[in-house]
Structure 1
């Protein structure tokens, strides 16, 4: 996490706020998801926790926010919901557009070896 408490954080594919809400207790964070029902859950949970979070309903491939961020992340293998190469390129261009220079982009990407699962 950023050392600066005033850092601006963007979570893409925030879902129901599983990470967004605890992070919001210490940092300024914006959560983006394209699922209205997940965002509704996130807003309810954030309200119960008493944290102020900007939630945005948008497609991460075409997201256009007015500000830039110190940290952008995509958690929980969410990137695997993008099946086409062009979708990945579009998403990474969105990240590039919204990330402040010399800041951090985190991508959680786990591709298990089926040999160990079966």
Structure 2
């Protein structure tokens, strides 16, 4: 997965992403579990859009991501917003030496970019080590239904006159996985567009499998909800949310 070119159009194409709903989810969980601290680790922070919003909201925020170009954009956003945020280029399954955090988030289905059971399990262990004893770990993932029914075999498109994409999704090589072929067209001049291609892979697992791995890593799974609502997941849920504490 290469985000180097994708980073430059990511924010335009993700303009309708519900960052405010992730913030509301974070605040609700912080209140429910009476977390007083404000040290936040944003894992898979991308271009830092949500990371900067969290910092503006008063959190002492650190962001990590694999993509150097996305982190460069994130740092620029932080500077423009007048926020002091530390960013690190780091694989979430190898995260270490960052200190302890009151809140850890892996939002916007970033965890689904891990392709193997082992890397998901290792990520949970790393998050456990980075979480303060009275902190909470929160993440969301695509549901099995979404990967199998709404991704595999589907084609999506977008065009706002300045940027466009064609997005083809296929069944992936692993169970409950999808492969995404994206072709982007970015307007350079009146009748001139540049094109680049991206290939992404995502994989998810059943809710009970995630829960098992979390417990094995040492977490207590406090809440499992769906689609930004305080409701239990059902067979047509698309995004599954987990909130965990340390045992």
TM-score by length of 2: 0.45
Q: For residues 5 and 96 of structure 1, do their structure 2 counterparts lie closer, same or farther at Cα, with a shift above 3 Å needed?
A: closer
Q: Which has the higher contact order (CA 8 A, sep 6+)?
A: 1
Gaps of 5+ in 1: none
User: Does the 8 A contact of 1:6 with 1:28 survive in 2?
Assistant: no
Provide Cα deviations, 1:76-105, integer angstroms capped at 9, x if missing partner.
111110010000011001000000113211
SS at match of 1:55: strand
**Is residue 41 of structure 2 the alignment partner of residue 10 of structure 1?**
yes
Q: Which residue of 2 aligns with 1:110?
A: 142
Residues 52-94 of structure 1: per-residue CA shift (max 9 Å, x gap):
1010111111111241101001011111100100000110010
Tell me the number of residue pairs that the alignment of Structure 1 and Structure 2 aligns: 118
Distance in 1, matches of 2:132 and 2:65, equals: 21
The structural deviation recorded for 1:110 is 2.3
> More deviation in 5-14 or 79-88?
5-14
1:74-113 matched pairs, under 5 angstroms: 74-111=106-143, 112=146
Counterpart residue number, 2:175 = none
Contact 2:43 2:65 in 1 (8 A): yes
Deviates more, 1:62-71 or 1:39-48: 62-71
Q: Which protein is bigger by CA-based radius of gyration?
A: 2
Aligned match for 2:62, one of 22, 30, 34 = 30
3-state SS, counterpart of residue 86 of structure 1: helix
The whole-number CA distance in structure 2 between the counterparts of 1:66 and 1:56 is 9
Distance 2:39 2:52 in 1: 14
Instruction: Give me the TM-score of the superposition, normalised by structure 1.
Output: 0.90
CA contact (8 A) 1:11 1:72 kept: yes
What's the Cα RMSD here?
2.1
Unpaired runs of 5+ in structure 2? 1-26, 155-247
Indicate the residue corresponding to 1:63 in structure 2: 95
3-state SS of paired residue (1:108):
strand
Q: Which residue of 2 aligns with 1:21?
A: 52
Tell me if the contact between 1:61 and 1:90 (Cα under 8 Å) persists in the aligned partners: yes
2:130 and 2:90 map into 1 onto residues whose CA distance is 14
